[in-house]
Structure 1
Amino acid sequence: MKDKLLKFFFWYFGKGALPYWFILCVDSFIVVFSGLFAQVLYAGFYSTVTNIFGITSSLCCYLLAYLVGFRIMHTYNGVIRYSSFVDLYRVAMANLIGVVVVFIVRHLTPIDQVLVPLSWQVLFISFIVATTGMWGIRILVKYVYDIYFVSASAQKVFIYGVKEGGIALAKSIHSQESQFVVAGFVSDDSKDWQHILMGAKIYPNNENLVAKMKQKGATVLMVSPLKTESLRNNQQMIDSLVEAGVKIMLYSRQEWDGKSDLRHTQLKKIDIEDLLPRNQIEVDLEAIGKIFTGKCIMITGAAGSIGSEIVRQVASFKPSQMILIDQAETPLHDIRLMMMHKFVDIPALTLTASISHKCHMEAVFKEYKPDYVFHAAAYKHVPMMEDNPGEAVVNNIDGTRIIADLAVKYKTKKFVMVSTDKAVNPTNVMGCSKRICEMYCQSLNKAIADGAVKGCTQFVTTRFGNVLGSNGSVIPIFKEQIKNGGPITVTHPDIIRYFMLIPEACRLVLQAGSMGNGGEIFVFDMGKPVKIADLAKRMILLSGAQDIQIKYTGLRDGEKLYEELLNKEENTKPSSHPKIKLASVRELGYDEVSEQINKLVEITKDGYNDMDIVRQMKVLVPEFKSKHSKYEVLD
């Protein structure tokens, strides 16, 4: 008997919704039964029984009025097990419509002469009883389904956050067919602890959280969008959850406005990028938009990790024209297609060209006369530039000088150069080349300000560390190594790096470009540094892969244990943006920097003698001390 009841129960509450007609029949029965019950209360049991047929006939006729309400409010179209307060409201309104229709019909027609007249007191009591009965059926079905069906098969989750975001997630789980059931909430505020929210207990966020989750059988932590930043900045919490095998789910979009719909289906399993400590970065989009809207914008290195994101962000401000330059044909073609599909109204010229080809670059400047230049073109891979210092000079240094000089000649308003933390106390050729670019731009800006060079261009440099997901960055490499079964290769157990999301870095580049007056080197607040070995361990845990080893391979040529955003002789001053600081750096005169760069370029023309090239770079940047490199003999 028990087995048959269970079989009927699971059929009744199966994946298919209850037939509409069945819900309608149940509601109709409740209406008629409520009328009889109300008549018993009002007139007595004996009086009701003696005229049961007539009273029932009247109630069945009145039921037609209720059916009008059911139709208008669609009370039988929903799935009962997903009933919400909105559904309860519809039931009440449907019954109210039924009572009103009965009142109108009785007032306008002689129906009471045909049917057994029921007093208005009976109709009122019937309305209350029917509404309560329908509510009760829906709540009971939902409760039974949640307890005996959903709970048996669904994953138990804790929700981190008890404000709007956490409540929205819990409501989403309750109101939709879901493989999850809420077993608890997590709060940082001691005022919330031990309270009950939506039927689940609120637990403290402390060292016992994992134990409580295990005790409740919860294997998933859903994070409210309002608590994402708190999670990222609590590495101890992350480590304990990951090591315990708890799956962490975050909002799949970057931000939530707190008003739009939030569903648990919008959450995604965390990736390592989601867990790196960083604070939300806000920029003045209105001020940036006023500057770039309707202007001609040139972006070099437009197909690279940073350049392509600058393209997307600048395009959103509706410039009059975009000149996109890169020597990588296939990635630039991807940018071309992206502009054609997403920014069809913006004229975009995509040029496969090298910034070191002066004649070609001058022809472009002469024809389009860009108002703003974002210079992101550079060879950036440290080991490659250690082996090819001549290319670092030709592309990074002389290429920057060519674009900068043309910007001045054709009256570009602002030139924004993208630099790197590797330019500070450089230990490799790539970092030194970028430092020389910084020096040239800064000295040229001063020469313009002093009247030594005729022009109006303002030069601004932006300096930041590693960006997540960029070409050749460590995270994609680690993912591929884990996919292949390991080992993960880390150069040194103590090596640390700063990380920032590409969109965040580019927003700050645009912000710095909009607020700089010329000559500044802006340093971005990169947050807390991350030990690469810890990053590798966490990625292994998140992947769920077994027996993945970490192999230490030794520092590469020119590689530092840690990157600096300022050298020892520099200091910073605050700017108008809390995430952007102004660096005070050693400055050289324009004539001196130009002369030294000329010597570098001449050496490359005489043949790529690596030692001669790097020796001259060290003259211009005396703080350049090679590490793990053949050029150490020059120091």
Structure 2
Amino acid sequence: MKRNFFHRYLSAKVLPIWTILLIDVFIIVISSLLAYALRYDFRSIFLESSTIDKTILWTVVVNLIFFRVFRTYSNVLRFSSFVDIMRIFVSLTVSYALLMITSVLTESYLEFNLAPVSVLFMSYIISFAMMACSRVIVKTFFEALNFDGTHSANVFIYGAKEAGVNIAKALRVNLRNHYRLRGFIADEPELINKVMMGVRVFPNDDTLIDVLNDRDVQTIIISPAKMEELKKSDMADRLLVHNIKLMTAPPLSEWNGQALSRTQLKEIQIEDLLQRNPIEIDIHKVASHLEGKRVMITGAAGSIGSEIMRQVASFNPYKLILVDQAETPLHDIRLELQDRWRDIDAETIIADISNATRMEDIFREFKPQYIFHAAAYKHVPMMEDNVSESIQVNVFGTRTVADLAVKYGAEKFVMISTDKAVNPTNVMGCSKRICEIYVQSLAKKLQKEGGH
């Protein structure tokens, strides 16, 4: 019963003011006794009992007055911060300065010894240390008693500057039962591998997925300051492909002076990352085009190609021709088809789209009516180091597939491009822009000739 009482008491959301005052008064008394013990070498402390009582009485009274003036007891202990510690420091400094000045004056002019100045100074140091520590201890007890990490999710925060740190503090204080901070992600070189709030800052590069997997992280909270960068980079694509949940928190100005709540953390949708209004797709119209058709998907084992496959499969095509050069991922796609769409006739073909002879054999055999061309090298840093492969696959491969689509009478050819092709600044973006220009030029030529 006693244990339950103390557990309920220490688990309270806010400790009563009188409890905080009582703790502080107790600390003042203990610090005075310890100061006398240190000053008189512990052995002769009781010889000074005549002044101890007066010292404790006056020290408590004066400190209570300035506790009231500076309201050192008014903060919520679980939110104790540097500002609260400074308020205690100022209150104690003023109190003990007044006591020491009074002690010197009374001894000089009234022959009344309030307390030795050395005792008061030591009491001041001890009381400040103990009061500061008491805040930390009570805060730690509160967090320990109210922490249930059974269902908490490991999270990273993208953004290691002020906005990201504010979110991290809110997670530690208010949402620690739901989220466990495991690290920060930063773009700034000066922050990489630094330690902030007890966790490392990791780079936003190709190693990020491995880092997340090693730490069992399935959620990343995006700092409001990083949302624009997220929209302009391929980071979201890389994370969403690996089923990493992306969430965002509102700017600090929208917290309205309150603590961050779980409901304010919103999962980011694909539409949030578009820098335009989302396009509404007419599903019935799409179904009327694809149902009963021979549909080819290049790059079918990739992140985009595999999702196109799933969407097309739901429209009951006559045949799926899935082309990719990656053996293992394509095998996984085949198993998925056998599990979810057993009735669909599907061919999984390992081929390099830049191999014109091999691709012509495939077109000659299957004569696809609809072609979704998603095969391409897409990782920007890798393509900077492998320019020839980027041109060979992205440019020549696209030309091969597009020309064969015309040659074998395909009804529709859809090339999957990228936002990196808009005013390209890297090899991958340039290669995709060349593909766009070629396909557009080919389409215009066919229109003039009265073809497709």
Q: 233, 248, 259: which one pairs with 2:246?
A: 248
Tell me, yes or no, if the aligned pair for 2:103 and 2:114 is still in contact at 8 Å.
no
CA gap of 1:147–1:186, structure 2 versus 1, over 3 A, is farther
One-letter amino acid matched to 1:69: F
Q: 90, 93, 97: which one pairs with 2:90?
A: 93
Unaligned runs of 5+ in 2: 298-303, 312-338, 345-368, 372-411, 418-422, 424-443
Aligned-partner Cα distance in 2 for 1:133–1:41: 16
Alignment of 1:215-230 (within 5 A): 215-230=214-229
Counterpart of 1:474 in structure 2 is 280
Does 2:157 align with 1:159?
Answer: yes
CA displacement, residues 107-133 of structure 1 (integer Å, 9 cap, x when unaligned): 788999798621222212211111111
Tell me, yes or no, if the aligned pair for 2:31 and 2:123 is still in contact at 8 Å.
yes
TM-score (normalizing by structure 1): 0.41
CA displacement, residues 397-431 of structure 1 (integer Å, 9 cap, x when unaligned): xxxxxxxxxxxxxxxxxxxxxxxxxxxxxxxxxxx
Q: Secondary structure at the match of 2:185?
A: strand
Alignment of 1:501-516 (within 5 A): none
Unaligned runs of 5+ in 1: 279-466, 482-487, 496-529, 538-546, 565-571, 573-622
Aligned-partner Cα distance in 2 for 1:82–1:116: 41
Aligned-partner Cα distance in 2 for 1:490–1:68: 83
| CA drift at 1:135 | 1.0
Does 2:158 align with 1:171?
Answer: no
CA displacement, residues 239-280 of structure 1 (integer Å, 9 cap, x when unaligned): 453344433122446xx99xx98975554221212234x5xx
One-letter amino acid matched to 1:198: M
Counterpart of 1:73 in structure 2 is 70
Q: Secondary structure at the match of 1:25?
A: helix
Tell me, yes or no, if the aligned pair for 1:159 and 1:224 is still in contact at 8 Å.
yes
Percent sequence identity over aligned pairs? 27
| CA drift at 1:23 | 1.2
Tell me, yes or no, if the aligned pair for 2:192 and 2:203 is still in contact at 8 Å.
yes
Aligned-partner Cα distance in 2 for 1:111–1:147: 52
Alignment of 1:473-552 (within 5 A): 473-474=279-280
One-letter amino acid matched to 1:185: F
Counterpart of 2:199 in structure 1 is 200
| CA drift at 1:213 | 3.4
| CA drift at 1:204 | 3.1
CA gap of 1:214–1:136, structure 2 versus 1, over 3 A, is farther
CA gap of 1:216–1:29, structure 2 versus 1, over 3 A, is farther
Q: Secondary structure at the match of 2:160?
A: coil
Counterpart of 1:46 in structure 2 is 43
CA gap of 1:192–1:490, structure 2 versus 1, over 3 A, is farther
CA gap of 1:207–1:270, structure 2 versus 1, over 3 A, is same
One-letter amino acid matched to 1:274: D
Tell me, yes or no, if the aligned pair for 2:88 and 2:128 is still in contact at 8 Å.
yes
Does 2:81 align with 1:84?
Answer: yes
Aligned-partner Cα distance in 1 for 2:228–2:245: 17
Counterpart of 1:347 in structure 2 is none
Specify which structure has the bigger relative contact order, considering alpha-carbon pairs within 8 angstroms and separated by 6 or more residues.
1
Q: Secondary structure at the match of 1:17?
A: coil
CA gap of 1:144–1:162, structure 2 versus 1, over 3 A, is same
Aligned residues: 318
Tell me, yes or no, if the aligned pair for 1:490 and 1:533 is still in contact at 8 Å.
no
CA gap of 1:137–1:252, structure 2 versus 1, over 3 A, is closer
| CA drift at 1:149 | 4.1
Tell me, yes or no, if the aligned pair for 1:39 and 1:122 is still in contact at 8 Å.
yes
CA gap of 1:155–1:490, structure 2 versus 1, over 3 A, is farther
Counterpart of 1:56 in structure 2 is 53
Aligned-partner Cα distance in 1 for 2:43–2:70: 36
Tell me, yes or no, if the aligned pair for 2:35 and 2:123 is still in contact at 8 Å.
yes
Q: Secondary structure at the match of 2:266?
A: strand
Q: 266, 271, 289: which one pairs with 1:273?
A: 271
Aligned-partner Cα distance in 1 for 2:202–2:415: 39
CA gap of 1:144–1:58, structure 2 versus 1, over 3 A, is same
Tell me, yes or no, if the aligned pair for 1:57 and 1:115 is still in contact at 8 Å.
no
CA gap of 1:152–1:494, structure 2 versus 1, over 3 A, is same
| CA drift at 1:30 | 0.7
Aligned-partner Cα distance in 2 for 1:535–1:68: 75
Aligned-partner Cα distance in 2 for 1:111–1:17: 46
Aligned-partner Cα distance in 2 for 1:252–1:86: 25
Aligned-partner Cα distance in 1 for 2:230–2:265: 15
Q: Secondary structure at the match of 2:14?
A: coil
Aligned-partner Cα distance in 1 for 2:172–2:257: 15
Does 2:95 align with 1:133?
Answer: no
Alignment of 1:415-494 (within 5 A): 467-469=276-278, 473-474=279-280
Counterpart of 1:354 in structure 2 is none
Q: Secondary structure at the match of 1:81?
A: helix
Tell me, yes or no, if the aligned pair for 2:63 and 2:91 is still in contact at 8 Å.
yes
Counterpart of 2:184 in structure 1 is 185
One-letter amino acid matched to 1:36: L
Tell me, yes or no, if the aligned pair for 1:150 and 1:181 is still in contact at 8 Å.
no
| CA drift at 1:28 | 0.9
| CA drift at 1:56 | 3.5
Tell me, yes or no, if the aligned pair for 2:10 and 2:145 is still in contact at 8 Å.
no
Root mean square deviation, CA, Å: 4.9
Tell me, yes or no, if the aligned pair for 1:160 and 1:185 is still in contact at 8 Å.
yes
Aligned-partner Cα distance in 2 for 1:33–1:167: 37
| CA drift at 1:101 | 4.2
Counterpart of 2:230 in structure 1 is 231
TM-score (normalizing by structure 2): 0.55
Q: 115, 122, 131: which one pairs with 1:118?
A: 115
Counterpart of 1:337 in structure 2 is none
CA gap of 1:218–1:86, structure 2 versus 1, over 3 A, is farther
Tell me, yes or no, if the aligned pair for 1:32 and 1:63 is still in contact at 8 Å.
yes
Aligned-partner Cα distance in 1 for 2:107–2:309: 83
| CA drift at 1:137 | 1.6
CA gap of 1:163–1:273, structure 2 versus 1, over 3 A, is same
Aligned-partner Cα distance in 2 for 1:207–1:148: 39
One-letter amino acid matched to 1:79: V
One-letter amino acid matched to 1:204: P
Aligned-partner Cα distance in 1 for 2:192–2:92: 41
CA gap of 1:117–1:217, structure 2 versus 1, over 3 A, is farther
